[in-house]
Amino acid sequence: MAITSNMPSRNIKGNVKAQDKILYVANKLGLSSLKYMQATTRCIYDVVSYAAGSPSVTLFENAQSRNFPQTNISTSGNRFEVNEALLVEKIAFFTLDDLGQNVGNMNNFDGATSVKFDLIIGNKTVMKDLVMESNGEQAFYASGTGASSQINLEGVGILIPPQVEFKVVAMAFNTDARTATTLETNLGCYLYGTGVLLNFNTSI
């Protein structure tokens, strides 16, 4: 059940695989037991209220104060338990109306709205001022269509290690007018990739 044998074998770039990145970072951080844990595919998300003209909102922070289905990490909050981790390979944004319904991509948010965001892990900003342009083709898009609200990370992803807080700080703006969005709605973000779960089938 070790991560070295059960890890999903997705080749992220060239000959480097998800398990290689996780084990490399774990070794650098001194997390020697992570290689014995259970591998999985994981997707976590959080939704917060976005006020019209808001300079930014913070997702995942204080997620324990929200309940499912507003977030799916309400029990653990924005830090993984001991020997749990997530290698983020994709980031996506979506919208919900006030009733928590009508899930849509960013094209449904104020007509044509983009997002500028930072991914922060611990006290380090690991992705800074990254912009997902609605109605525009750009690097990192999952496809060449303007309707895409998903970004595929280049290289081998970014690892969120155990017991370290993480958050996404996002600011929405109107793609056409290049101004702050004028719509109040609920903004969601999900982080998807290869995960590590606690496995007791080893010496502890």
3-state secondary structure 159-196: EECCCCCEEEEEEEEECCCCEECCCCEEEEEEEEEEEE
pLDDT by 10s per residue, the chain, length 204: 355 544 445 555 555 677 777 766 767 677 667 677 778 899 999 999 988 888 899 999 999 999 988 899 988 889 998 888 899 999 988 887 665 555 666 655 555 678 899 999 999 999 999 888 775 554 444 444 444 567 888 767 899 999 999 999 999 888 878 888 877 888 899 999 988 887 776 555
> From the centroid of its chain, how far is CA 158?
10
How far apart are the C-alpha atoms of 108 and 188, rounded to whole Å?
13
pTM reported for the whole predicted model = 0.82
Q: How far is CA 148 from the centre of its chain?
A: 16
In this structure, what are the phi and psi dihedrals at residue 163, rounded to the nearest 5 degrees? 60, 25
